[in-house]
Amino acid sequence: MKFPRVASTIHRLTIVLAITIVACAQQRFKEVPAIYQEVSAGHDVQLPCKVQDKKGQCIWQKDRKPVGIYPDKYEWFSLRSNDCTLLIRRASLEFDDGFWECQVTSGDFMRQDALTSLPARLLVRVKPRKPSLEYGGTILNTSLTLREGQEVTISCVSRYGNPVALIKWFIGDEEVEALREQMNATEVDNPKTWAAHSLLRIRGRREYHGRMIRCITIHPSSPVPATTESQLNIHYSPEVRFQTSPRWMTSSLEDSTSFMNLKCVADANPSAMIKWFKDSTPISSENILLLTENRTESNSTSTVSELRFEPVKRNDAGLYSCKAVNIIGESPPANYALDVQFAPRAKRMEDSNDNETLMEIEETAQLGSSVETFECPEFEGNPIPRYKWLHLRGGTTEKTIENPTRAKDSGKRLRLENVMWSDEGEYRCVAFNMISGTRRETPSEVRYVLHVTGPPEIQARPSGSGENGSYESIGWAGEPVHRLKSRFCSRPPPRLVAWQWGSSHIRAGESIQPKYEALPLEPIIEDKMVTNCYWAKLEIKNLQKEDSRMYTLLVESEKGRDSTNIKLIIRDPSEMKVIAAASAIGLLLLLLLISIGIFSLLRMKQRRYRCEEDEGSIAADALYGNNVSMDRQKTTKTLSASKGSASKSTQDGNLAVLYDYDQIAKQARAMSPEALKVRRAPAVLQPPTMV
């Protein structure tokens, strides 16, 4: 057999072939340094470089110059043969900032397979110095003072940083744009560091006063930006505004009642002097309280001048103005219209004497006419007064007249349409206005009296309209006295008042014995005042069915006449009894239905309660047994023996008691927890007592 020798030969050839392939393979980079890399000064950094099939030696160059391996400064990161990674300790700007190259020499002089990586930029970060603000070629250490509208250019400089710092501008908390892009250049005395310059064009504005202008530099060497700032001091002319105290006035100012302070606040830098005017006339400084205070919230100096009205008077009303002046200029005026409201007052009262008697004016109007009889005297007030008229009956009761209010006189003239007898009497004029939701009224002291003349007019008639324009009066047969009456008015007084029916005729004050009597006229007194109206009354005695007819009242005077018909209806008293009986029966039926409904509702609730109680209860024979119920006892014993449940028996003479706990448990499982607490207690704690 020659097969083992052949296998050995093949194995040797394979090894020789593998060695030949490895010897012929060229070395190449597996990993090269990053094109750009940053490291903070004083920190360690790695420059990765790995070679596959490495045969030569690793060499590093910085800025085209070879760098040797020095312990504790430049070291190999790993001892592996194919790893050329360089570890730089405590990186510094002077020695380590630049372009680095990883190189590998050839495996032998014939291969010429030396390797060189692309230059890798290693930047060593250096924190720049604190930025500085410059204005006019000098460093700005104090505040920057500008006049309103003035424009200046300031610069922010950040020096000796690597890489260059980014500069941003802020006024207060608001970021603003620079004049142009920042300029960057290397430092003359240290070319590896940078200087950054940024310009800002700023205009003096009054809202900038007191704000901080800040220059912020952002650099990767520090997570916290560096900042420098200076306060803006803007000089501007005054601006004035009014404030009232109380600040929110919920009601209008009323004469001799309200208190108010009027403040003129001048916002200016430098502080200003305030001048007061009323209706364009200067106000004396004796009435002015001057206050000066610093308003830190608005970063401005405010001058406050105050006028106090304690209390406010009618004469204080007017247009108030204030101005403020400082070295920059003068403010435009601020205006406040002070409105003082007061109740109506009669103008004539100021010129009249206190002992002057009340004036009385009398007028006469025809019945049914439309007149404008009275005019109220002139009243002044704020708001402008309106007028209403009161009708006094008997000198005590007041009735407001719905007088149409016209734009010209605001109800100053009393207009009566279709004058009636009820319109006569005394009238009073009342001027009124509204102040802070409260009605202010002032009555006139002039008394106005109106007299009405005209033919008789029947006013009060029996209720219930009948046929042919007549009115009905209902009486009952057998009534001892039934009275027909009607009200009428007449001036001059009537010369004839008579009742007529059929062929009969009777005047007021006369009678037809023993059946009819026309009572004398009864003057009507309203609110203790005798009027020109009367009651006409006719009495009918022992009322019978035959008295049911039409009765006519006739009233006549020298001005004219008037009449009315009254229909008398006689009813049988038995009709009233039937109606009363029917009402009583209906009431009883209603009470019966209500009682049946209440009883049914209570019965339903009782049944529902019993059902709920039965669902959660345990039958007595499920707990206890005796000799009287022998079948139940035998069944219990059989069930207890078959299930192996525990049963108790107590013998006392011929009496025995058994507890079927299995049956109790079944019942208990169907019960609620609360019912089980109550139902289980007798079965567990109280054994039955047999007597």
Q: What is the pLDDT of residues 252-271, one digit of tens each?
A: 899 989 898 889 999 999 98
Q: Is the pLDDT of residue 691 over 80?
A: no
CA distance 454 to 491: 6
One domain, residues 491 and 550:
yes
Residue 397: what pLDDT? Answer: 55
In a domain, 595, yes or no: no
- Asked which of 202, 234, 266 is the last residue of a domain, the reply is 234
| One domain, residues 178 and 280 | no
User: What pLDDT score was predicted for residue 108?
Assistant: 80
Tell me what pLDDT residue 460 has.
Answer: 59
Q: Which residue has the higher pLDDT, 690 or 532?
A: 532
Q: Which residue is listed with tokens 């026309």? A: 518
pLDDT digits (tens, 9 = 90+) for 216-242: 999 999 999 999 999 999 999 999 999
Asked if 396 and 528 touch (Cβ cutoff 8 Å), the reply is yes
- CATH number assigned to the domain comprising residue 33: 2.60.40.10
Residues 158 and 264 in one domain: no
> Do the domain assignments include residue 603?
no
Answer yes or no: is 605 within a domain.
no
Whether the model clears a pTM of 0.85, i.e. scores above it, the answer is: no
Instruction: Tell me the pLDDT tens digit for each residue of 469-510.
Output: 567 888 888 889 999 898 889 888 999 999 999 888 899 988
Examine the pLDDT at 402 and tell me if it is beyond 80.
no
| List of residues 6+ apart from 268 with CB closer than 8 A | 236, 237, 238, 239, 300, 301, 302, 303, 324, 326, 328, 331
Assess whether 190 and 103 both reside in one domain: no
Share of the chain above pLDDT 70, in %: 77
The lowest-confidence range among 244-248, 363-367, 440-444, 612-616 is 612-616
Q: Mean pLDDT lowest for which of 101-115, 345-359, 598-612?
A: 345-359
Band of the pLDDT at 189, cuts 50, 70, 90?
very high
175 found inside a domain: yes
- Could you tell me the pLDDT band of residue 406, with boundaries at 50, 70 and 90? low
503-540 pLDDT, tens digit each: 888 999 888 888 899 999 988 887 677 788 889 999 99
Burial per residue of 352-387, b for 16 or more beta-carbon CB atoms within 10 angstroms, e otherwise = eeeeeeeeeeeeebebeeebebbebeebebbeebbb
Position 386 pLDDT exceeds 80: yes
Same domain, 221 and 256: no
Report pLDDT for 408: 62
pLDDT at 682 over 70: no
Residue type for 685, please?
Answer: L
Please give the angle made by the CA atoms of 249, 253 and 259, to the nearest 5 degrees: 80
Asked if 433 and 440 touch (Cβ cutoff 8 Å), the reply is yes
The one-letter code for the residue type at 595 is S
Residue whose tokens read 């209008």? 252
Do residues 180 and 279 both lie within one domain?
no
CA dihedral 76, 80, 81, 86 (to 10 degrees): -20
Confidence class of residue 394 from pLDDT cuts 50, 70 and 90? low
Cα–chain center distance at 218: 46
Closest listed residue to residue 307, CA positions, set 244, 215, 257: 244
Q: Do 163 and 190 sit in the same domain of this protein? A: yes
Query: Which pLDDT band, with edges at 50, 70 and 90, does 95 fall under?
Result: very high
Range of the domain at 426: 359-454
Say whether pLDDT at 407 is over 70.
Answer: no
Residues 228 and 276 in one domain: no
Q: How many domains does the chain have?
A: 5
pLDDT of residue 111: 78
- Cβ neighbours of residue 171 under 8 Å, at least 6 residues apart? 202, 208, 211, 212, 213, 214, 232
Unique residue bearing structure tokens 């006339």: 281
Whether 111 contacts 72, CB under 8 Å: no
pLDDT at 20 (0 to 100): 45
Q: If you average pLDDT over every residue of the chain, what do you get? A: 81
Of 15-29, 474-488, 665-679, where does mean pLDDT reach its minimum? 665-679
Report d(CA 336, CA 320) in Å as an integer.
5
Could you tell me if 542 and 522 are in contact, meaning their C-beta atoms sit under 8 angstroms apart?
no
Same domain, 307 and 385: no
- DSSP-derived pairing of the beta strands 560-571 and 550-557: antiparallel
Binned at pLDDT 50, 70 and 90, residue 626 comes out as very low
Q: Cα(342)–Cα(25) distance, rounded to whole angstroms?
A: 115
Q: Which of 398, 420, 454 is the last residue of a domain?
A: 454
Query: Residue 403: inside a domain, yes or no?
Result: yes
* Two structure tokens written together for 50: 């790995």
Note the pLDDT of residue 687.
53
At 552 the pLDDT is: 92
Would you say residue 141 has pLDDT above 90? no
Same structural domain for residues 409 and 375? yes
Residue where one domain finishes, among candidates 340, 374, 407: 340
Going by C-alpha positions, the residue among 319, 364, 349 that lies closest to residue 337 is 319
Residues in the chain: 691
β-pairing verdict for 98-104 and 120-125:
antiparallel
Q: Is 657 among the domain residues?
A: no
pLDDT band per the 50, 70, 90 thresholds, residue 443? very high
The answer as to whether 580 is a domain residue is no
* pLDDT mean over 588-596: 93
Q: Is 445 a residue whose pLDDT tops 90?
A: no
411 and 476 both lie in a single domain: no
Residue 300, SS3 per DSSP: strand
191 phi and psi angles, rounded to 5 deg: -65, -20
Q: Is the pLDDT of residue 250 over 80?
A: no
**423 and 463 co-located in one domain:** no
CA atoms within 13 A on the CB side of 331: 28
Distance CA 19, CA 583 (A): 135
To the nearest whole percent, how much of the chain has pLDDT over 90? 44
Report if residue 8 sits inside a domain: no
Compute CA distances 577 → 425, 496, 571, 582, whole Å: 49, 43, 12, 9
The confidence band for 612, taking pLDDT boundaries of 50, 70 and 90, is low
* Beta strands at 226-245 and 144-147: parallel, antiparallel or unpaired: parallel
* Exposed/middle/buried for residue 616 (C-beta within 10 Å: 0-12, 13-18, 19+): middle
Q: Give the per-residue pLDDT at 524.
A: 85
Q: Would you state the structure tokens that stand for residue 495, as one six-digit string?
A: 């010369």
Pairwise CA distance, residues 432 & 631, whole Å: 103
